[in-house]
Structure 1
């Protein structure tokens, strides 16, 4: 009996290991984890893309500082007391990381659903415009004749970004206890947040291309590794205090750069991507 259970456990562990290896291999080949970093440098070198960020910087910082300050004041000691039982001396650090993640999540949900939605949409579309993908952007909004990549953006005809998601909150609460496991648990928590985050990285791109929900779901399933890698790096960047708002925009720029490279067939993933997108768009018409 015991040997049978041990054998089954080894089989399950091997299966999970193989899945993780494939996931990591796909992520490494795609180079998706680099795009959040590329987004930083691209935003710095393209001042016209700063406009949406500048317009929301002060309101966001006010919201973030309020949330972060409240969480540290009201919840740090209670959570530290709990974390100390499982993390020992490391609880001081892991509790701080937990609160940073909590504040980033709460602020992210509020801001991206209400405060930053228009600015993030403009940043994504503006980056595609800067990468000479005006014909794609034109599928989702009106375009003006003159000006830079942001000035040319007219009225949005399609809006892909979701409003408040109950599932996102439930998923966050479910994963939260992982932080009670020293180090590994916190890393697993960040990874799972990245996994969830990755699924929404290219919502705008898929919408602009007319990709139906079924095709989008299949694509995300087939490329889970690359999107998880992007989502994990993006999550880590947005956990950085104060600078999280800037990284929200650089991550958006990075996502748009990745979409532009997929369209131009300049990534490992892109061998059949653009043709598939076009075929999906024709079927959706």
Structure 2
């Protein structure tokens, strides 16, 4: 099972792109934020590449030679991603990510999981129209000052020739990957200790997922579009986890004494 490429965690951010493109009910959720975010992203990346790229390449060239052009690009893209992500919070996009995540779960037969924390209407023109207001706190990925600081601290890894950029991507993916399932942990009502246990059992998978998600978010202009499609991929991964859960462990909500179990508990 570990070698089943069809279930590789790192593929889910890519599957999210295809799923979004082929499921029209998600498009309005993107359109409401897409135009202003694309324009904002284009402006930020243009400014950074005009005024920050060449000075950083010149500095990196002291240590890396010709490789500085590539490392400098990743450095500027990382800086741009950090700025855009911070501004993205100002647009209250987390609410949109929650709607995207929940809509995919409902569409893929996991409505019971979502109904535990938000109203679901029995009828609607599409899945999104069936989503009512959350009855509990609904957060796709919580704001984390620590994560932002770690991102900034890790950026200088791009100064290291050859290995620096891959190290930056992997370490950032290691820290950021689990945040894409924060909403899932909320729906399961897991305690802090249970969350840590779930993450520990899938740490490699979360690292690969987070790394691919970060690479997509480093794409200029389209970074925030890929953030939204990654939420789709995260939900598709949840669907796979829930569908593979053995019948005896099929309870949707955990209690605080650690009864909840998922497929990771049964994997060799």
TM-score range, shorter chain: 0.7 to 0.9
Q: Indicate conservation of the 8 Å contact 2:71/2:158, yes or no.
A: yes
1:245 is displaced (CA, Å) by 2.2
Q: Indicate conservation of the 8 Å contact 2:95/2:140, yes or no.
A: no
Q: Indicate conservation of the 8 Å contact 1:100/1:240, yes or no.
A: yes
1:198 is displaced (CA, Å) by 0.7
User: Looking at CA atoms only, which structure, 1 or 2, has the larger radius of gyration?
Assistant: 1
1:27 is displaced (CA, Å) by 9.8
**Where does residue 217 of structure 2 map in the other structure?**
238
Residue 242 of structure 2 corresponds to residue 263 of structure 1 = yes
What secondary structure, in the 3-state scheme, does the structure 1 residue paired with 2:48 have? helix
**Inter-partner Cα distance in structure 1 for 2:72 and 2:153:** 17
**Inter-partner Cα distance in structure 1 for 2:194 and 2:90:** 25
1:93 is displaced (CA, Å) by 2.1
What secondary structure, in the 3-state scheme, does the structure 1 residue paired with 2:180 have? coil
Alignment of 1:85-164 (within 5 A): 85-112=62-89, 114-147=91-124, 148-157=126-135, 158-164=137-143
CA deviation profile, 1:9-66 (whole Å, cap 9, x unmatched): xxxxxxxxxxxxxxxx689795111111211111111100111111100121122123
Q: Indicate conservation of the 8 Å contact 2:9/2:208, yes or no.
A: yes
- For structure 2, the 5+ residue unaligned runs are 260-268
1:80 is displaced (CA, Å) by 1.5
Alignment of 1:201-240 (within 5 A): 201-240=180-219
Q: Indicate conservation of the 8 Å contact 2:187/2:253, yes or no.
A: no
1:126 is displaced (CA, Å) by 0.5
**Inter-partner Cα distance in structure 1 for 2:250 and 2:151:** 33
- 215, 227, 241: which is aligned to 1:248? 227
**Where does residue 187 of structure 1 map in the other structure?**
166
Aligned pair count reads: 256
Q: Tell me which moved more, 135-144 or 154-163.
A: 154-163
**Where does residue 56 of structure 2 map in the other structure?**
79
**Inter-partner Cα distance in structure 1 for 2:208 and 2:196:** 17
CA deviation profile, 1:150-188 (whole Å, cap 9, x unmatched): 111111232224554221222012211211112210111
Q: Indicate conservation of the 8 Å contact 1:131/1:260, yes or no.
A: yes
**Inter-partner Cα distance in structure 2 for 1:36 and 1:218:** 23
1:275 is displaced (CA, Å) by 2.3
Q: Indicate conservation of the 8 Å contact 1:27/1:226, yes or no.
A: no
TM norm structure 1: 0.82
Q: Tell me which moved more, 70-79 or 150-159.
A: 70-79
1:82 is displaced (CA, Å) by 1.5
1:283 is displaced (CA, Å) by 4.2
**Inter-partner Cα distance in structure 2 for 1:234 and 1:248:** 7
TM norm structure 2: 0.87
**Inter-partner Cα distance in structure 2 for 1:32 and 1:113:** 30
